[in-house]
């Protein structure tokens, strides 16, 4: 008798470690470019930008850190809060 094991949520996006598949591919390409620029010219700026992008695209429960920052900015800065004065 064959038993098949399926993930809990079949509609969820594919993840590799802490990133989504698209973000992981972008990170791999950015790391290769950053390393090449670091070795050839000694530039650290592309590596710093790559690390920032890697941090902002960490995915936990279908929500990235960048999404959380956007939602917090929208909630605290741009969205009108409902106030009732009595």
Q: How many distinct structural domains can be found in the chain?
A: 1
The pLDDT tens digits of the residues spanning 28-84 come to: 999 999 999 999 999 999 999 999 999 999 988 788 999 999 999 999 988 877 778
**Predicted confidence (pLDDT) at residue 21 exceeds the cutoff of 70:** yes
pTM: 0.72
Question: Residue 15 gets which letter from DSSP?
Answer: E
Residue 28 lies in a domain: yes
Residue 86 lies in a domain: no
Residue 50 lies in a domain: yes
For every residue of 21-46, DSSP letters joined together read HHHHHHHHHHHHHHHHHHHHH---HH
Residue 47 lies in a domain: yes
Full domain range(s) for residue 49: 16-78
Considering only residues 18 and 27, tell me which one the structure prediction assigns the higher pLDDT: 27
């Amino acid at each position: 008798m064959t038993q098949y094991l399926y993930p809990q949520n079949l509609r969820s996006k594919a993840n590799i470690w802490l990133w989504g598949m698209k973000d992981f591919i972008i990170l791999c390409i950015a790391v290769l470019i950053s390393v090449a620029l670091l070795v050839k010219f000694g530039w650290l700026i592309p590596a710093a930008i790559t690390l920032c992008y890697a941090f902002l695209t960490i995915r936990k429960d279908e929500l990235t850190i960048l999404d959380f920052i956007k939602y917090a900015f929208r909630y605290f800065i741009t969205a009108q809060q409902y106030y009732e004065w009595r």
